[in-house]
Structure 1
Amino acid sequence: MKAKPKQSRYLTLVLILGLIAACTPPAEKTAEPTSIVEADPLPSWNDGPRKEAIISFVEDVTDSASPNFIPVADRIATFDNDGTLWSEQPIYFQFFFALDRVKALAAEHPEWKNKQPYKAVLENDMPTLMQQGEHGLLEIVMSTHAGNTTDEFDSLVRSWIDTAQHPVKKRRYTELVFQPMLELLDFLRANDFKTFIVSGGGIEFMRPWVEGVYGIPKDQVVGSSIQTEYDYNNGKPIIKRLAKIDLIDDKEGKPIGINRYIGRKPVFAAGNSDGDLQMLRWTDANPLMSFQLYIHHTDSLREWAYDRDSHIGKFDIGLDEAIEKGWTVIDMQTDWKIIYPFEKNQ
């Protein structure tokens, strides 16, 4: 049956509009409302008072209408490294580097076979090595970290960090960084905080890799250092690393390092041990609104559990003071959904 003229015109119009639509590139879809998960700046953190406290602090101090507003220039955040941004058990990762350097240099030092603490290192005798105490450990660091140029040391660290594996976790050391803390660093930077590492670890051990791993520029690292000297070197200038201590950036050394290299008191500080307590106290003394964060290692299955009696990352006086002053103490086991970045895909 033929369509009535009015219907025919209608059908023709529909066909024309359909052809136009088919030949026209689709318009961009209107963005759907962001879900709560997508908007979450700390997705690897479980919801709770500690996560809420961090987010509330950042929102408060970046709100220009808030009485606690902090100007961008003063938004300084300092983070310890060992135990705060990556793991530190059973010994500090930089010390694993030093042990590997002893073995690499052993052929040049045959006397080490019968001399402690080197003998213990070469025989993988950790109990005897630990008995050498702080003096023995310092001797190892000095003999493996000095006597070269800054460029040579940078190359050694880069090579090691790209290949060495943790003896327990069987992962590269840079894989053992904490995913929740990477998110925290990103969250702070997105709100115009300048993030610094303030660590007892060596400044020149951290500089070669922190930018790629944490997004923290190498010039925003404060750490322990040895003395150096400039040498024109027949027209090829170098900086030599000497076997002399310059700064131990731990305990009281952390506020000193912050003052020397940053020049502003932090408004946000994070640590995990008694060695970080003075840095958190220094931050707490800031007349501006401030935030003190402690990481409590409580997860013996996914990482390690330790605090008051640990020989690495002892958390005793700092834990008591944090509780007394109402600082935020992260319980790793309950506050973090995952520990390491590689767990996201498991």
Structure 2
Amino acid sequence: MTAGGLLLSLGGRALAGVDPLPSWNESGARRAILDFVRRVATPGSPDFVPPEARIATFDNDGTLWAEQPLYFQLAFALDEVKRLAPQHPEWRNREPFRSILAGDRKGVMASGEKGLGQIVAATHAGMSTEAFAETVKNWFEIARHPTLGRPYDQLVYQPQLELLAFLRANGFKTFIVSGGGVEFMRVFAERSYGIPPEQVVGSSGVVTYATGPDGKPVLLKQAKVEFVDDGPGKPVGINRFIGRRPILAFGNSDGDLQMLQYTAAGGGARLPLLLHHTDAGREWAYDRRSPIGKLDKALDEAAARNWQVVDMKADWKVVFPP
């Protein structure tokens, strides 16, 4: 199903007979979304927002696609270590690479932030941005999720695809604002979500300009971190790269809390949304104690401030596209 084929709209209202969110159950969350969009997109409404200010920001991991049992970009990096290992025999006796090659995920995670930084440096740095994008593209073509057996870029959430299309049909501009690497996400964001590269805000490493052996200019990825687009970094990234405060923001973890706070603090109609992973049968159930996608403080603040929490099990008819 293509994003553009999901909805036709007129004057901020879904056309008669067209269900804009067919994969959403009839629930308070669905009604809140439909009512919000109707109010901000209908001329003459007290809450009307001009199209240029209809900004919606979405986290990626755990909000637009799955994130268990580990973040997909980390899965890519681990696979890259294995692919590159024959060129680096020293990795057999050096952590965290030894644990990766032994399939010891606990050992990898025990290496902490320093070890993860070494993994990213070994698999992301030292190549051109074009070469990196091609490497990521090739990985998506062959890699499969360890438990679901599907390509990683098929593990997007069908209800969210419908919501993105519904928002765009009603004059919204949709952005990804994620802690994931911006150049990693740009490889698939337009194909998977209909979100073009220039509307992807993410963490980034230093990139330098150089002249290649053929005399043509290239941009080379370096090992140094430039910007972390997570937690309090998300509002900073929104200000730096978008320049407008969102009126709708959708997250799923404590890493999205500041983005939701920033969105809610603006004037006029606002809709902060949290996706609560409650469906152990069709996906996963996790929140406060999860090392991946921890949802603790944000869940409490959502209750205190009456933010809309989307319950995956109760509110979604389906999770993944067929």
For 2:89 and 2:23, how far apart are their aligned partners in 1? 49
Aligned to 2:43: 64
Kindly state the Cα deviation for residue 107 of structure 1 after the two structures are TM-superposed.
1.3
Kindly state the Cα deviation for residue 134 of structure 1 after the two structures are TM-superposed.
2.0
Aligned to 1:241: 221
Query: Within the alignment, does 1:144 sit opposite 2:144 as a pair?
Result: no
Kindly state the Cα deviation for residue 270 of structure 1 after the two structures are TM-superposed.
0.2
Aligned to 2:60: 81
Matches within 5 A, 1:35-114: 38-114=17-93
Aligned partner of 2:181 among 194, 199, 202: 202
For 1:260 and 1:79, how far apart are their aligned partners in 2? 16
Kindly state the Cα deviation for residue 222 of structure 1 after the two structures are TM-superposed.
0.2
How many equivalent residue pairs?
A: 308
Answer yes or no: is the 8 Å Cα contact 1:76–1:193 preserved in 2: yes
Aligned partner of 1:330 among 310, 313, 316: 310
Describe the shift of the 1:38–1:102 C-alpha distance in structure 2 as closer, same or farther (beyond 3 A): farther
Work out the percentage of aligned pairs sharing the same amino acid: 55
**Which deviates the most, 282-291 or 191-200?**
282-291
Aligned to 1:303: 283
Matches within 5 A, 1:1-20: none
Letter in 2 for 1:327: W
Hey, which of these two has a bigger chunk of helix by percent?
A: 1
Answer yes or no: is the 8 Å Cα contact 1:37–1:43 preserved in 2: no
Kindly state the Cα deviation for residue 132 of structure 1 after the two structures are TM-superposed.
1.2
Kindly state the Cα deviation for residue 37 of structure 1 after the two structures are TM-superposed.
9.3
Answer yes or no: is the 8 Å Cα contact 1:210–1:217 preserved in 2: yes
Query: Within the alignment, does 1:314 sit opposite 2:302 as a pair?
Result: no
Kindly state the Cα deviation for residue 36 of structure 1 after the two structures are TM-superposed.
9.7
Kindly state the Cα deviation for residue 40 of structure 1 after the two structures are TM-superposed.
1.4
Aligned to 2:249: 269
Aligned to 1:168: 147
Letter in 2 for 1:66: S
Kindly state the Cα deviation for residue 289 of structure 1 after the two structures are TM-superposed.
1.4
Describe the shift of the 1:100–1:266 C-alpha distance in structure 2 as closer, same or farther (beyond 3 A): same
Describe the shift of the 1:57–1:232 C-alpha distance in structure 2 as closer, same or farther (beyond 3 A): same
Q: Secondary structure at the match of 1:341?
A: coil
Segments of 4+ in structure 1 off by > 6 A? Answer: none
For 1:53 and 1:72, how far apart are their aligned partners in 2? 20
Q: Secondary structure at the match of 2:25?
A: coil
Letter in 2 for 1:124: G
Letter in 2 for 1:332: M
Query: Within the alignment, does 1:181 sit opposite 2:181 as a pair?
Result: no
Aligned-CA RMSD value? 1.3
Matches within 5 A, 1:220-235: 220-233=199-212, 235=215
Letter in 1 for 2:33: I
Kindly state the Cα deviation for residue 288 of structure 1 after the two structures are TM-superposed.
2.9
For 2:118 and 2:255, how far apart are their aligned partners in 1? 21
Letter in 2 for 1:41: P
Aligned partner of 1:287 among 232, 242, 267: 267
Letter in 1 for 2:102: E
Structure 1's unaligned 5+ residue stretches are 1-34
Q: Secondary structure at the match of 2:249?
A: strand
Aligned partner of 1:120 among 73, 80, 99: 99
Max Rg structure: 1
For 1:240 and 1:130, how far apart are their aligned partners in 2? 28
Letter in 1 for 2:129: T
Aligned to 1:32: none
Letter in 2 for 1:154: A
For 2:233 and 2:141, how far apart are their aligned partners in 1? 30
**TM-score, scaled to structure 1:** 0.87
Letter in 2 for 1:90: P
For 2:154 and 2:16, how far apart are their aligned partners in 1? 25
For 1:341 and 1:186, how far apart are their aligned partners in 2? 15
For 1:76 and 1:119, how far apart are their aligned partners in 2? 45
Letter in 1 for 2:142: T
For 2:236 and 2:125, how far apart are their aligned partners in 1? 23
Letter in 1 for 2:281: L
Answer yes or no: is the 8 Å Cα contact 1:230–1:237 preserved in 2: yes
For 2:117 and 2:166, how far apart are their aligned partners in 1? 37
